[in-house]
């Protein structure tokens, strides 16, 4: 089970995120190069949102994809919860399309749950599909109970994915959300798969367990973290990178298949919780 099978689109098991990209004009050329390097390496699932830089990331992504065959790309964007109703969603989708320079999205996500009823958002998403502006829709930052609410909503079972924070140091989704998604044959898109910057990221990258596997397999610590997620059925990590070198390093994680022993080492160093935990959100 992976994203290309479920979506029937040219997207691989690793995508590219754009959070915090596009907000510094002096870095635009370098960030475009990073995205383009990833596309050329097969990382054609490209994730963004109207929230990221209030559209700046979508504009950057639009620049990066110019010249590529649109049908080779799998473009994902997200709508603010307060825009996810009939009053705003159609214009917001058009604005995202304009900023990205495309006439359709492969996947449109509700960024997180807000006050607009899920039933209204589902109806609007289905209307966007009927208009040909999106090919599929999904959600982001919804825990298991909210996914169950969604599936009790008329048409809610047409949701294609749930995008949540998931990495080796944040494994709460493994207790209930990931098994539920796997049961319903829905992929989990993992944002911040290398952890957000700060002490946790450094703890993961500098972990003796991660370092040991990286050294043995002649891989980078980042590749080990991504390979851990790739070993989970139906999980699609979408790391963000602002440099072509780091992007290509991420892409090479596809060639790293961790053994059961190596997965056991990582599990011992960073065990999953044995009880429900609140969904981590950045």
> Which residues are known to be catalytic?
52
Structure tokens of 250?
């991420």
Give dist(CA 258, CA 276) in Å, integer: 27
Helix (H, G, I), strand (E, B) or coil at 162: strand
What are the beta bridge partners of residue 76?
47, 107
Give dist(CA 17, CA 154) in Å, integer: 31
Give dist(CA 105, CA 53) in Å, integer: 19
Give dist(CA 183, CA 189) in Å, integer: 16
Burial string for 126-145 (b: 16+ CB within 10 Å, else e) reads: eebbeeebbbbbbbbbbbbe
Structure tokens of 231?
């070993």
């Amino acid at each position: 089970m992976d994203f290309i099978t479920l979506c029937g689109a040219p997207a691989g098991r690793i995508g590219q995120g754009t959070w915090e990209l596009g907000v510094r004009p002096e870095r635009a050329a370098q960030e475009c190069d990073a995205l383009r390097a990833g596309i050329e390496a097969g990382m054609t699932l490209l994730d963004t949102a109207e929230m990221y830089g209030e559209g700046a990331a979508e504009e950057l992504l639009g620049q990066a994809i110019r010249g590529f065959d649109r049908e080779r790309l799998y473009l994902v964007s997200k709508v603010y919860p307060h825009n996810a109703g009939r009053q705003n969603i159609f214009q917001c989708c058009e604005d995202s399309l304009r900023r990205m320079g495309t006439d359709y999205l492969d996947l449109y996500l509700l960024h997180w749950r807000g006050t607009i009823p899920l039933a209204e958002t589902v109806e609007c998403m289905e209307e966007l599909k009927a208009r040909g502006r999106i090919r599929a829709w999904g959600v982001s930052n919804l825990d298991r109970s909210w996914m169950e609410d969604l599936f009790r909503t008329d048409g809610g079972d047409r949701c294609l994915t749930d995008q949540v924070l998931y990495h080796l140091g944040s494994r709460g989704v493994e207790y209930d959300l990931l098994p539920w998604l796997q049961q319903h044959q829905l992929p989990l898109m993992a944002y911040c798969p290398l952890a957000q910057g700060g002490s946790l990221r450094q703890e993961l990258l500098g972990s003796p367990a991660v370092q040991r596997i990286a050294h043995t397999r002649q891989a980078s610590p980042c590749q080990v973290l991504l390979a851990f997620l790739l070993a989970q059925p139906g999980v699609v990590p979408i790391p963000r990178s602002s440099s072509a070198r780091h992007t290509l390093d991420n892409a090479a994680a596809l060639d790293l298949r961790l053994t059961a022993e190596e997965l056991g080492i990582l599990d011992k160093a960073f065990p999953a919780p044995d009880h429900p935990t609140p969904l981590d959100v950045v």
